[in-house]
Amino acid sequence: MLSLGQKQPISTNKKLKDSGVIVIGGHVQGLGITRIYGKLGLPVIVIDSTRYNIARHSQYCKSFLYYKNKHLLDYLFGLGKSGRFKNYVILPTHDEHVAVLSKNKDKLSQYFIVGTDDWINVEKCYNKRLTYTIADQLKIPIPNTWFPDNLQEIDSYDIKYPCIIKPAVMHEFYTKFKQKVFVCNNKSELIKYYKKAVYSISANEIILQEIIQGGSENLYSACFLFDGDKAINSFVGRRARQHPPDFGNATTFAQIVDNDELITSSVKFLEHIGYKGICEVEYKYDLRDDKYKLLEINPRTWKWHSISEKANVPLLENYLNLLYGEPIRQLSGITKASFRHLITDLPMCLIYLIKRIYKSYHKYPIQYAVWDKDDPKPFFLELIYLLRNIFFR
């Protein structure tokens, strides 16, 4: 019998009937994956390096497993050797997970179906220096960007302030500094922050970049399930609000929009590298020259991927079909939809109002990040975990 809110099972094919999904990471993104596959009748296992995650509390989570931080690969090999989850699909929710799975795909594939592309392709999305170099070669617009190998090189650059210092690979930088970029308002700050950055990450991972003016309403994402040379599913979202507003760590409100230009531009890049899998290609619209500038590519699901469910785009279902060699479910049409993470978007609305940058958007059907009347427990646990973090941080 199917649980409340479940759809019909994904397939009668034996490979899929005997399959399941392992989700690495149990926050909002992992919860979305858990619910989508759970509603399709598949067993979903959530693993995380923290027990304080919300996906484990979903009715669609068959089991939660805890692993010690920084020991993911060893843990996965242990799971594989146990034989408990033979041919389950493993899906990452974080850049660090992507690197672990992709770099070790051959070894892990003897136990699991690894839900990342090969590292030769993933690295071109994972490392922003490579991403920007390829985009420039393909004449895809990017912000003015420099790759200094040392402090002396910076003197030769014609940099307009403010600018930012950011890493080629985000997760180590963010873990260290708890922010995505360093904003530099003048040359002395640029030198100070460069020295700070190079003390913690390699000089060949440092990127200097101009700041494209404008708020988060100018942020867009082209979202794909891609099969090497073509898009199986695609849509574009405007990431209208984020936390924090300037250089956000997380989208709090997004809407699907029409933008064929971003689809075309992204397909050019993904086709060039032969990418296979799910990804999000991020852009910012530049009012100065009326161009969308590529910012980064996430070779995995992203926080607000569950908007696809409300939009009638079978993104995750078709990814499983692709991985198992099953027929692709054809799209009957994209429904305009919104995504909202209430616990973060409500305070952001207030901040946007105070900053006088708040705008109203189309009232499309909303895919809530956490709230679900048929699966309410994660919503209440998120509130409890928020209070815990406030008091014990």
Asked if residue 127 has pLDDT above 90, the reply is yes
Does 126 reside within a domain?
A: no
Count: domains in the chain: 3
Does 26 reside within a domain?
A: yes
Does 135 reside within a domain?
A: no
74/175 same-domain check: no
Closest CA to 274 of 223, 227, 324, 222: 227
Instruction: Give the tens place of pLDDT for each residue, 129-173.
Output: 999 999 999 999 999 999 999 989 998 899 999 999 999 988 778
Q: What is the pLDDT confidence band of residue 322, given thresholds at 50, 70 and 90?
A: very high
259/287 same-domain check: yes
Residue 393 is predicted with a pLDDT of 60
80's CB contacts (< 8 A; 6+ apart) are: 108, 110, 111, 112
Among residues 210, 232, 267, the one where a domain terminates is 210
332/358 same-domain check: yes
- Answer for the pair 7, 33: CB distance below 8 angstroms, yes or no: no
290/196 same-domain check: no
Residue 281 is predicted with a pLDDT of 98
321/355 same-domain check: yes
287/352 same-domain check: yes
Give pTM, 2 decimals: 0.93
Does 177 reside within a domain?
A: yes
Residue 3 is predicted with a pLDDT of 36
Q: What is the pLDDT confidence band of residue 88, given thresholds at 50, 70 and 90?
A: very high
* Structural tokens at position 227: 């099969």
CA distance 379 to 58: 9
Q: What is the DSSP letter of 389?
A: H
Does 136 reside within a domain?
A: no
- Between 101-105, 268-272, 333-337, the lowest mean confidence (pLDDT) is in 333-337
126's CB contacts (< 8 A; 6+ apart) are: 95, 98, 99, 102, 169, 299
* Structural tokens at position 57: 């509390």
Does 307 reside within a domain?
A: yes
Q: What element of type H or E holds 146?
A: strand 145-146
58/157 same-domain check: no
Domain holding 95, by residue range, is 14-116
176/220 same-domain check: no
Q: What is the DSSP letter of 225?
A: E
CA distance 121 to 138: 16
266/387 same-domain check: yes
Query: In this structure, what CATH number is given to the domain that contains residue 259?
Result: 3.30.470.20
194/241 same-domain check: no
Among residues 168, 195, 210, the one where a domain terminates is 210
Instruction: Give the tens place of pLDDT for each residue, 38-80.
Output: 999 999 999 999 999 999 999 999 999 999 988 999 999 999 9
